[in-house]
């Protein structure tokens, strides 16, 4: 079994200060095998914001898979946005925009969906999909395959399609062909997990889509600050959402969703079927 801590959208430069240390404590207590941060480490891609983000990452357990988000690209510095959009990210966070991790149970590939030509949206291209699948397939068939991006490839039914990453259908078709199991993302500032439900019928192997809320930002969009603890155990996955409790000054479990791998892909286990199981 592997434990993943999945955080997203910390937005240093516009944070709920008390949540920073509390999230570090909660993640450390979970003893994750891998920490995943799916983008928007900063609010305006300023050096001081990235420095804060770097200190935050250094306080979290390792190894880590971190990818950039659209807020990690300068918004108002037109020259920097055009010529070196992720300069500060690569200086303070990582030169590797599409990191990779694997062990005997899981394989995780990061995908950079941040683009200089869009302000909030993201995009993925065929080369990125092909490279991601090649890296995952090279690890063999006995590992749970995981893709991490900032922008989502599928959305909760309450969200508009403009929140999707550009070329989402193309990417989902590619990921289905190479049997990606989990797709982790952020951007929406909402917590959500379910089997994928593409807008167009895509043959192949449907993945489990997991969004993390914002861990530390004041931009909560009606939800509490939160992050996910994901347990991956062969053919089963559980996603526990930990939410910020201001009165207790800590992150506490709010709900857990459980999923089972089937020949047709991932399927949610109804709560009534989980009760009483060890």
Report residue 119 as tokens. 């302000």
Q: What are phi and psi of 14, to 5 degrees?
A: -155, 75
Query: Cα separation of 93 and 81, whole Å?
Result: 17
How many CB atoms within 10 Å of residue 141? 7
Please tell me the predicted confidence (pLDDT) of residue 85. Answer: 79
- What pLDDT score was predicted for residue 109? 98
Q: Which residues of the chain have pLDDT under 50?
A: 199, 275-278
Q: What is the domain count for the chain?
A: 1
Residue 125 backbone phi and psi in degrees, to 5 = -120, 170
CB atoms within 10 A of CB 192: 22
pLDDT digits (tens, 9 = 90+) for 117-161: 665 779 999 999 999 999 999 999 899 999 999 999 887 665 555
Q: Give me the CATH number covering residue 163.
A: 3.60.21.10
Cis-peptide, bond into residue 21, ω within 30° of zero? no
Helix (H, G, I), strand (E, B) or coil at 27: helix
Residue 44: the pLDDT is 94
Task: Give the C-alpha separation, 39 to 19, whole Å.
Answer: 17
Give the pLDDT score at 276. Answer: 44
Rounded distance between C-alpha atoms, residue 273 and residue 20, angstroms: 36
Reference 36, options 64, 1, 60; nearest CA is: 64
- Check if the beta carbon of residue 154 is closer than 8 Å to that of residue 197: yes
HSE-up of residue 130 (Cα within 13 Å, Cβ side) = 3
pLDDT score recorded for residue 33? 98
Nearest residue to 114 via CA among 159, 148, 137: 148
Q: In which domain, by residue range, is 173 found?
A: 2-274
* Integer angstrom CA distances of residue 99 from 23, 37, 105, 120, 185: 23, 11, 17, 22, 15
Pair of tokens at residue 225:
């600050």
**Predicted pLDDT of residue 75:** 67
pLDDT at site 149: 97
| Rounded Cα gap, residues 36 and 48, in angstroms | 22
The distance from CA 52 to its chain's CA centroid, rounded to whole angstroms, is 20
């Amino acid at each position: 079994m592997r434990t993943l801590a999945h955080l997203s959208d910390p937005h240093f430069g516009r944070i709920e200060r008390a949540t920073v240390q509390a999230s570090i404590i909660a993640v450390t207590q979970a003893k994750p095998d891998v920490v995943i941060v799916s983008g928007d480490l900063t609010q305006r891609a300023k050096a001081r914001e990235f420095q804060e983000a770097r200190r935050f990452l250094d306080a979290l357990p390792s190894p880590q898979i971190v990818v950039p988000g659209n807020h990690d690209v300068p918004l108002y510095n037109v020259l920097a946005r055009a010529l070196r959009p992720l300069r500060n990210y690569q200086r303070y966070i990582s030169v590797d925009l599409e990191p990779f991790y694997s062990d005997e149970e899981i394989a995780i590939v990061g995908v950079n969906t941040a683009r200089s030509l869009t302000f909030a949206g993201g995009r993925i291209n065929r080369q990125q999909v092909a490279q991601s699948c090649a890296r995952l397939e090279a690890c063999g068939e006995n590992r749970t395959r995981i893709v991490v991006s900032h922008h989502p490839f599928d959305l909760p039914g309450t969200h508009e399609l403009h929140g999707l990453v550009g070329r989402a259908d193309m990417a989902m078709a590619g990921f289905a062909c190479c049997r990606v199991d989990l797709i982790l993302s952020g951007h929406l500032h909402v917590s959500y997990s379910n089997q994928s439900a593409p807008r167009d019928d895509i043959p192949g192997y449907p993945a489990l889509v997991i969004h993390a809320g914002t861990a530390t930002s004041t931009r909560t969009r009606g939800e509490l600050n939160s992050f996910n603890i994901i347990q991956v155990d062969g053919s089963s996955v559980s996603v526990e959402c930990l939410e910020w409790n201001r009165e207790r000054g800590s992150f506490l479990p709010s709900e857990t969703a459980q999923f089972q791998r089937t020949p047709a892909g991932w399927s949610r286990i109804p709560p009534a079927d989980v009760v009483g199981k060890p």
